Structure 1
């Protein structure tokens, strides 16, 4: 029995709330999910298990588990996961679980029909609308009621949306996910941008619809992909809900209210609408909502927009009066916000309610993905994923970006506070967790679970993880700028983006598994999504770019290159296991295939011509993909890399890296990358000669790179032998200890470890600034934590096992 913890979160109860959790298993323990159940107060709840990884013997390695839970107001809850609930008992336990409805999907002639029990909709292949028909029990909506998202480019050209074929991504009693690819088409006689469609520009996109059992809402995901050979200036990207026959406007009008700026960000500024009879109302928080609702009856169409970072700020109109909200750079620069923004910044929503029905649409992480705008009026709702005339979104060739919003259909009498409540829950959903010991005992990941904990180290690791800069912008959210690379001029005067260098998501996944602290999971989800979209090349005429990850550069990929030393997959695989989103696995496989193509280029033809980091990272990537998929094509190249390291050592005496035309030098952190990668291969395929090669490499590091002051130098040249602070060498020392059991390998790292633990982390407070299409907050690059976490945690674990102090 595994306990599932739901932390105290909201002051309102959530009944049969759809939630999810990841469960790891030991090899050989379980092969099927039919006997599994989740119990709350002894009774089974509705579940939907999904195996995301298996061991090579077919047993379950990772299980992504969706379920419905009753979450109490202002209290935590604990449920039990029973892997043998049906053994000798009820063979139909999930059919009788729960108290409410289930989600179903069925194939129809030209698409699919989804039924959540209180929301039914049908989607059609080869259509120009997301929905063919939607029924919420009060009103039947038709295809013409939903327009777009429609694209307009920088030339002012508009695009028609054409959906291809829908498919079922996931289907079960808790959740149904549908997906379809499609094209935004613009035909012009003089258009020569992309000849792939007979002279028409073809911007590809992916749609996803996610529905939950018994819930009156569905999430819409729209992922735009620049499948042309030129930069795509997105002038606007807009979705309309059309309430009648008249066109829906996306014009933004000034919302002028005599109200003081909420400079504290704490909702301290009060409003008073007692003498206001409309047609427009402005209020913060929920205290005045009931009185305003009486003045804005839905019979004459109530309109509403709201945004928050603490108390929600509402503009409410009666008689269909237009209201809108805009998020731009100026808005973000002046607004105070104290949240870890990956977890929550606030909400951003629009609602239109009449005498028959209401629809509230919430844009997910709108502030983080600015520019954004919403408008509601008598004719409908306009959701501006990119509002015209606001911001500057330019997507480079091959770049993608997903945006999400929740469509909540509700009765006219639904109180506004409840709409606000659901909108906020969408922004910060309940995320259950399990105890770290479950991950440790399962052995599914690197052992980052010291038995003896030290508060100084734990505080330092948390500080390093939290200290990264939050960088807002549709194409930037989930990434950070790198001050070092920028100041070096690597962006030719522009800001250089880290592009998740050193696999920040993977370190976050490990930190989450070992602590159960929710925000590290949110860090993983946000950064991996950016990685999958922006940092990977989705379209190119150059096969050496397809599926690959861009090295850190300006504009995420401007003048970018792809090399094995800057392509990772472990964080994407973690994302798949912790989110259930199969695109994480697909993205990782795409990177692996790109690495294979790169390894066949002349750069890697001879051992020693590239530094140890290049083939080292390639080995780590390919080994991870073999462990995940058991596909031997990854191992074939791994064997070749291992052999190249052996040849390299024979020719040079150690793993030297080319530097100037007439030097080959020791670079401690690059050698450590190679040691760490070879060790990952060795753990899967232990061989004595590989073990001895690893020990020789670490011995060479200690003998030649350790200075008298207890630190390692940066690089082996008189011009570069400055004090080193790279923690990657600590992982090499921990690996040598793991291989030999000899704690002599730990002593040389004490000074480096001490300095890393007690250094002051970058602050998360400070001045925000605007740079190109981004608002950049204070803090450091994610590279710092990504690079240091595994070395620090593995070395720390080794120290704790030997009661060594520093």
Structure 2
């Protein structure tokens, strides 16, 4: 595995948390069978956790390991790479000092060897105290410490009432993770918003990494028609507030403040009065004000470009995009603080003057902040408690690393061969696949093709930054200000392209995308589902929405017809251990399960999973999404209940497929779009792959069903179109006519999906001729991604999503991988 340094900072014994897939035929059952070695063959301390198994739950030691999460200390020079080898071996080595945890019932103490962190169970001020080896106490108990939210002239504090949950999620020799949940309260019975704080501690480190999620737990309030009023900013159950801070008071008699803006050559500022601050109001880019006055969109209140830094009340610097850290030191000890993706998640503030204050939602921003029911936002915070002053402690290096945490990446060949990511292949620039690879690269390279554009340029031009939008992509094929909500599993596609290529540009899109989706694109709920919308994903459904009043909550959602999220969220969790992504994925999973277990004559009848397409027929798309999500749920959990629901969905899908298979008939009503039918057959293929890998019989005859659908589609819908390209029209009417709205053959990269479905049918016994058709479909989708005369280039976020997600099943079958 390669560990690549990308922040330009030497890393020494920095803890890496990364997941690696393991092939089923390795037959590894215990994490004790794995050991890590450096390039010289020396054993490296490594903490290993099973996060998924082949055909069972992560805890089921009778099933082989599928994904393992590793924690280990890595050293790599600035801009360099280091190699590590994960082997089947019993040669384990422990760190010089394990993390130890003690709990007296009132206070939890985590001793990393470099620092002792204490937290009280009856109040959450983040830390009760922090003692650093060789420096003594850096942080003492104070009611002024913790998270503070300001609304209506009142102050709501994390320490005002006891947390509702205080749980050690992981205890290992190298990393300990604690999760605290509770309310931000002005006093007993007066909570406004809630929080989840995940705190990670590392062996031999005095750093604490905090993932703080601000959450609106208010339920939706259905209208008279039973529809959840959850879309608009300010809808019933919304909470408005003026700001929110993390405040900590280091224990120093004298104080020197050190501020780095993290931008270019602007240097580091120092104040012996301890009064330095920086405030980022907008993204700082050329289009920083493109949403200005588009009320009530969160970016509509921006007032100036970029950031400004102050010494006291005097401006000392200004710039565009800050990635700052702030340190307060004195008396031989200090504390440094920063948050990841500072400017991207604007507005943000960082203040020092007797106390340290990280403004996750700054009071000085021009507008109020509003969280709708079920809305979350998570920030990653790094706190470095240290001996000495900022220079002596190497604060610059430690905090600069926050911009780009280290990741251990296996080779594309390993990811493809593992089978854990399904049917994928490493990047392949041979002539047969070159157009496909160019289409993917056009997300970054505007020189590919005639448009002179790229996904990165589109994100920039539409200012898709700020705490609400960052991580999503623009709806630039309709209304560019609108949010695509990573439709058709674009987040998952970004991760696939990263793993099959090793190109970190995909990772830089995928990581914020997965974190955004886990927060913003899901209607989060507490406890059990009590309304069909709970846990729903807001897919882009109604077209041409500008997203100013209802960002990331399309008025046509949530519904199984456009429900994604789970594949990308789970894969991101396997790769990073980011628990928030897994939790959100399972909210969507349980939502989808509720919808189908209470539809089509089952349960309480209030699942309402039915949907009709533009042709007046039952749509294939809800069945596709339901089946895909149940498949992912089973692979993540090993729970056979998800297979049961998947089989129920397959049975229900005949409402859509029976008319299709009975067509064509003269005078018959209805029809289907080809891509929605293909989405369903693709999901059948994924389901078959999953049950075969787990030894589960095909009780619903899914293989013959898939082949029958694809053969019928090819026999009735396949056409030769313009420019010599072959494939399918956009849709097919059940009276035998085609929907030629986009030509006799729809020249688009939806044909990459068609190629995958044809390849799946071939793989499950459909005949060699289907692979020949798959090759033609792949050529059409690769060479004509967006209509007649087009070529690989960045056309819009939709084409980028389709290419990132589809085409791999065919490529693997065609290349014999």
Mark yes or no: TM-score above 0.5: yes
1:323 aligned to which of 268, 272, 276: 276
Task: Note closer, same or farther for the CA distance 1:465–1:733 as it changes in structure 2 (3 Å cut).
Answer: farther
Task: Note closer, same or farther for the CA distance 1:134–1:705 as it changes in structure 2 (3 Å cut).
Answer: same
Q: Which residue of 1 aligns with 2:22?
A: 25
TM-score (norm 1): 0.79
The gaps in structure 2 that reach 5 residues or longer are: 56-61, 219-235, 289-304, 307-319, 446-453, 600-604, 692-696
1:699 aligned to which of 673, 696, 711: 711
Q: Does 1:622 align with 2:620?
A: no
Q: Which residue of 1 aligns with 2:683?
A: 677
2:36 aligned to which of 26, 35, 38: 38
Render the CA deviation track for 1:612-643: whole Å, top value 9, x for unaligned: 01111101111121122221211222222222
Query: Aligned partners of 1:586, 1:300: CA distance in 2, in Å?
Result: 44
Task: Note closer, same or farther for the CA distance 1:761–1:231 as it changes in structure 2 (3 Å cut).
Answer: farther
SS of residue in 1 equivalent to 2:438: helix
Task: Note closer, same or farther for the CA distance 1:576–1:624 as it changes in structure 2 (3 Å cut).
Answer: same
Query: Aligned partners of 2:15, 2:80: CA distance in 1, in Å?
Result: 17
Structure 1 residue 514: deviation in Å? 1.6
Query: Aligned partners of 1:173, 1:364: CA distance in 2, in Å?
Result: 26
Q: Which residue of 1 aligns with 2:474?
A: 481
Q: Which residue of 1 aligns with 2:67?
A: 62
1:498 aligned to which of 484, 502, 507: 484
Q: Which residue of 1 aligns with 2:237?
A: 230
Q: Which residue of 1 aligns with 2:120?
A: 124
1:102 aligned to which of 98, 101, 104: 98
Q: Does 1:421 align with 2:397?
A: yes
Q: Which residue of 1 aligns with 2:264?
A: 310
Q: Does 1:731 align with 2:753?
A: no
| 8 A contact 2:52–2:635 mirrored in 1 | no
Render the CA deviation track for 1:647-685: whole Å, top value 9, x for unaligned: 5433443599xxxx9941121100001110111222325
Structure 1 residue 512: deviation in Å? 2.4
| 8 A contact 1:450–1:800 mirrored in 2 | no
Q: Which residue of 1 aligns with 2:621?
A: 613
Render the CA deviation track for 1:93-136: whole Å, top value 9, x for unaligned: 323xx5x4332222232242111111111111120411112111
Q: Which residue of 2 aligns with 1:511?
A: 497
Query: Aligned partners of 2:440, 2:116: CA distance in 1, in Å?
Result: 47
| 8 A contact 1:332–1:367 mirrored in 2 | no
Query: Aligned partners of 1:655, 1:64: CA distance in 2, in Å?
Result: 50
Structure 1 residue 157: deviation in Å? 3.1
| 8 A contact 1:210–1:220 mirrored in 2 | yes
Moved more, 629-638 or 697-706: 697-706
SS of residue in 2 equivalent to 1:448: coil
Q: Does 1:713 align with 2:667?
A: no
Q: Which residue of 2 aligns with 1:402?
A: 378
| 8 A contact 1:48–1:67 mirrored in 2 | yes
| 8 A contact 1:150–1:158 mirrored in 2 | yes
SS of residue in 2 equivalent to 1:350: strand
SS of residue in 2 equivalent to 1:38: strand
| 8 A contact 2:4–2:79 mirrored in 1 | no
Task: Note closer, same or farther for the CA distance 1:367–1:55 as it changes in structure 2 (3 Å cut).
Answer: same
Q: Which residue of 2 aligns with 1:762?
A: 794
Q: Which residue of 2 aligns with 1:211?
A: 201
- RMSD over aligned CA atoms reads 3.2
Query: Aligned partners of 2:131, 2:539: CA distance in 1, in Å?
Result: 47
| 8 A contact 2:755–2:775 mirrored in 1 | no
Query: Aligned partners of 2:680, 2:444: CA distance in 1, in Å?
Result: 24
Q: Does 1:390 align with 2:415?
A: no
| 8 A contact 2:17–2:72 mirrored in 1 | yes
| 8 A contact 1:371–1:391 mirrored in 2 | no
Query: Aligned partners of 2:202, 2:686: CA distance in 1, in Å?
Result: 40
Render the CA deviation track for 1:305-331: whole Å, top value 9, x for unaligned: 2222434543322233x2211111274
Q: Which residue of 1 aligns with 2:233?
A: none
Structure 1 residue 705: deviation in Å? 3.5
SS of residue in 2 equivalent to 1:692: helix
TM-score (norm 2): 0.78
Structure 1 residue 583: deviation in Å? 3.2
Task: Note closer, same or farther for the CA distance 1:417–1:605 as it changes in structure 2 (3 Å cut).
Answer: closer
Q: Which residue of 1 aligns with 2:781?
A: 752
Matches within 5 A, 1:426-505: 426-449=402-425, 453-454=429-430, 455-464=434-443, 467-468=454-455, 469-470=458-459, 471-486=464-479, 495-505=481-491
2:332 aligned to which of 332, 352, 356: 356
Q: Which residue of 1 aligns with 2:295?
A: none
Structure 1 residue 706: deviation in Å? 3.7
Query: Aligned partners of 2:509, 2:427: CA distance in 1, in Å?
Result: 25
Structure 1 residue 800: deviation in Å? 4.1
Q: Which residue of 2 aligns with 1:546?
A: 534
Structure 1 residue 729: deviation in Å? 2.2
Matches within 5 A, 1:192-211: 200-211=190-201
Structure 1 residue 504: deviation in Å? 1.8
| 8 A contact 1:125–1:164 mirrored in 2 | no
Task: Note closer, same or farther for the CA distance 1:735–1:442 as it changes in structure 2 (3 Å cut).
Answer: same
Task: Note closer, same or farther for the CA distance 1:332–1:301 as it changes in structure 2 (3 Å cut).
Answer: farther
Q: Which residue of 2 aligns with 1:528?
A: 514
SS of residue in 2 equivalent to 1:42: coil
SS of residue in 2 equivalent to 1:159: strand
SS of residue in 2 equivalent to 1:49: strand
SS of residue in 2 equivalent to 1:551: coil
Query: Aligned partners of 1:54, 1:580: CA distance in 2, in Å?
Result: 15
| 8 A contact 1:306–1:325 mirrored in 2 | no
Structure 1 residue 333: deviation in Å? 4.3
Structure 1 residue 605: deviation in Å? 6.3
SS of residue in 1 equivalent to 2:488: coil
Query: Aligned partners of 2:435, 2:776: CA distance in 1, in Å?
Result: 20
| 8 A contact 1:654–1:697 mirrored in 2 | no
Query: Aligned partners of 1:429, 1:53: CA distance in 2, in Å?
Result: 23
Task: Note closer, same or farther for the CA distance 1:366–1:13 as it changes in structure 2 (3 Å cut).
Answer: closer
Q: Which residue of 2 aligns with 1:639?
A: 647
Query: Aligned partners of 2:345, 2:267: CA distance in 1, in Å?
Result: 19
Structure 1 residue 747: deviation in Å? 4.5
Query: Aligned partners of 1:45, 1:478: CA distance in 2, in Å?
Result: 34
Structure 1 residue 74: deviation in Å? 5.0
